[in-house]
Amino acid sequence: SNALVWLRRDLRADDHAALYYALRQHQHVSVAFVFDTDILNRLTDKQDRRVEFIWESVRALKAVLQQAGGDVLVRYGCAAEEIPRLAVQLHASDVYANRDYEPVAIARDAQVAELLASTGKTLHLFKDQVLFEQDEVLTQAGKPYGVFTPYKNAHLAKLNAFYLRAYPVKKYFASLARCAPEPMPALESMGFSRTNLHEMRLPVGLAGAQQLFNDFLQRIDEYHEARNFPAVKGVSYLSVHLRFGTISIRQLARAAFQLMKTGNAGAATWLSELIWRDFYFQIVYHRPDLQQGSAYKADYNQLPFANNADWFAAWCEGRTGFPIVDAAMRQLNQTGYMHNRLRMVVASFLVKDLLIDWRWGERYFAERLIDFDFAANNGGWQWAASTGCDAQPYFRIFNPQSQSEKFDPQGKFIRKYVPELMALDNKAIHAPWQLKGDRLFAPKVGDYPLPLVDHARQRALALSLYKNNVNQK
Ligand code: FAD
């Protein structure tokens, strides 16, 4: 019998649940990826690193499957219509895909299932992108967790070799449908053009993911200490690969789990980050209203943010006058990536220093981040804005200067992205405004702006904004 595997955020050919089950059940399995116009048409910037990353990764995957006698059929159009159409053309009785947890994707999959059913075909969905799904780690009362630590403890108590084993896909490659290889459609034919992805030397595709992971394994021992310093190569840089599934979460978690068992503190901390990822996916599944812009905590829905559009533009463009914030925002604009510590710093700064609605920042990150993932992004923003599940309390407000002194002590990261401040010493670089009046200041700092706001003053305003408007029962 014939089947179709529909790839979405799982662009790899090994350890892949849907592909594995399809190959085991059917003799002729075709594989397809649709550049979905429902998503692409919403992107206003037609130079988008994510589209290029996907394009490169699909191209690499095509080469792997072509070598095995199959192919990835690449289509451009509305996926919810293309997939049922392709299933008819290929005489596929069944369509296999890996489950997605965002409300928008769940609705799309329901639509596809219905269309398929109308022609007697079935959509099968599998757990693949998470270690545990929405209903696998619940409280004793059978409710979803809203606090991370007990969730993590329950997750770790359940995690074992069974859940971490890889799906041995290659063993069943003989069931791939033989077909004449199709050429890869050009990026330009879909209205997109190349970005600076190659200049960034971000390794793409399956091979790129393995390369990054092998590199990280050499450093994982120090992860718990190095991960907070943006100028240090301390993190894995795997988020974009996890986003598009060019690497399996099980492979990553298996390695971390085994190392953790030998007492490796870095691996234990890293595994905990992977569990945060699962945590936010299950939150989004259980709270579909989050995708409509709701605060996780209903009491925090009505905060009257000042929303100064000029300040927002300065934040987006990295010209707030706070060097660590500006360096981080410029990193985002230039590369599509931002270090986790800095995501927390700039998010807190936007909300609690500039008094701008966290949803504005969330939206900007969604446009720019190469690893943008609704669940983690919404979770991160609501954490910083104190509106989220297990968020930091509203009265905890990062001081951008002390964050900078602590996590970029030599100003190395700042100098990379804010070269105007290159010549300042390691103390002044965190707060150049404190040099005001120094006769050496003007020529050294050039066009670098004075700070938009006074942190102490804004902090007090933020405190009263929350205090007076959080609807505490
Ligand atoms: P590592 O430190 O090597 O971590 C490994 C993996 O664990 C990451 O790739 C990621 O998949 C997962 N992870 C780590 N931290 C978190 C976290 N806090 N929440 C969920 N998963 C996590 N991550 C995204 O993948 N997409 C986003 O859109 C996103 N937006 C964020 C917005 C804000 C405001 C904040 C504070 C955090 C956001 N994060 C997001 C989480 C985190 O910053 C990134 O996952 C991390 O910086 C990616 O770099 P890395 O792969 O080197 O991470």
Protein residues whose CB sits closer than 6 Å to any atom of ligand 1: 227, 235-239, 242-243, 273-274, 276-277, 280, 340, 343-344, 347, 365, 369, 371-373, 376-377, 379-381, 384
β-pairing verdict for 28-36 and 122-126: unpaired
Residue to mutate, 239, 341, 369, 392, ligand 1, most ligand atoms under 8 Å from C-beta: 239
- The closest of 102, 85, 84 to 375, measured between CA atoms, is 102
**Mutual angle of helices 309-317 and 358-368, in 10-degree steps:** 30
Q: Are residues 449 and 320 in the same domain?
A: yes
Nearest-CA residue for atom 47 of ligand 1:
340
- Residue 360 falls inside a structural domain: yes
pLDDT score recorded for residue 442: 45
| Dist. CA 252 → ligand 1 center (Å) | 14
- Of 57, 393, 16, 360, whose CA–CA distance to 209 is shortest? 57
Q: Per-residue pLDDT for 445 more than 70?
A: no
pLDDT, tens only, 363-380: 999 999 999 999 999 999
Q: What is the pLDDT of residues 121-163, one digit of tens each?
A: 999 999 999 999 999 999 999 999 999 999 999 999 999 999 9
pLDDT in tens, 424-437: 999 999 999 887 65
Instruction: Return all residues near 34 (Cβ < 8 A) that are at least 6 apart.
Output: 6, 74, 75, 76, 77, 79, 82, 83
Q: Which atom of ligand 1 is nearest to the CA of 237?
A: 52
Least confident residue range of 24-38, 69-83, 335-349, 434-448: 434-448
- Report the pLDDT value the prediction gives residue 444, as an integer from 0 to 100: 45
**pLDDT at residue 54, rounded to an integer:** 98
Q: Give yes or no for residue 443 having a pLDDT over 50.
A: no
Looking at the fold, whether 14 and 117 belong to one and the same domain comes out as yes
Residue 265 sits in the same domain as residue 326? no
Instruction: Name the closest-CA residue to atom 11, ligand 1.
Output: 239
Find, among 242, 207, 244, the residue nearest to 256 by Cα.
242
Q: 447 with 325, same domain?
A: yes
Assigned domain for 317 exists: yes
Q: Which residue has the higher pLDDT, 443 or 22?
A: 22
Name the residue among 401, 453, 446 with its Cα closest to residue 424.
446
Q: How far is CA 40 from CA 10, 36, 122, 187, in A?
A: 18, 6, 27, 12
25: domain CATH number is: 3.40.50.620
- 197 found inside a domain: no
Number of structural domains (the chain) is: 3
Q: What is the DSSP letter of 202?
A: -
The verdict on 273 and 328 lying in the same domain is no
Tell me, what's the pLDDT at 470? 86
Q: Which residues pair with 162 in a beta bridge?
A: none
pLDDT tens readout for residues 383-418: 999 999 888 889 899 999 999 999 999 999 999 999
Task: For residues 318 and 281, state if they share a domain.
Answer: no
Q: What range does the domain containing 150 cover? A: 130-166+207-286
The CATH number of residue 326's host domain is 1.10.579.10
pLDDT digits (tens, 9 = 90+) for 193-246: 999 999 988 999 999 999 999 999 999 999 999 999 999 999 999 999 999 999
Domain co-membership, 436 together with 458:
yes
- Does residue 101 lie in a domain region? yes
Q: What is the DSSP letter of 247?
A: S
The best mutation among 214, 371, 373, 386 to test binding of ligand 1, ranked by most ligand atoms within 8 Å of the C-beta, falls on 371
Is the domain of 155 the same as that of 116? no
pLDDT of residue 438: 54
Report the pLDDT value the prediction gives residue 434, as an integer from 0 to 100: 84
Q: What is the residue type of 301? A: N
Contacts (Cβ under 8 Å, ≥6 apart) of 198? none
Task: Identify the bridge partners of residue 4 per DSSP, sorted by sequence position.
Answer: 30, 95
**Neighbouring C-beta atoms of residue 276, cutoff 10 Å:** 17
In a domain, 157, yes or no: yes
* Same domain for 390 and 330: yes
Task: Judge if 242 and 326 occupy the same domain.
Answer: no
CA-nearest residue for atom 45, ligand 1, is 239
Q: Nearest to residue 250, comparing CAs of 242, 259, 240, 239? A: 242
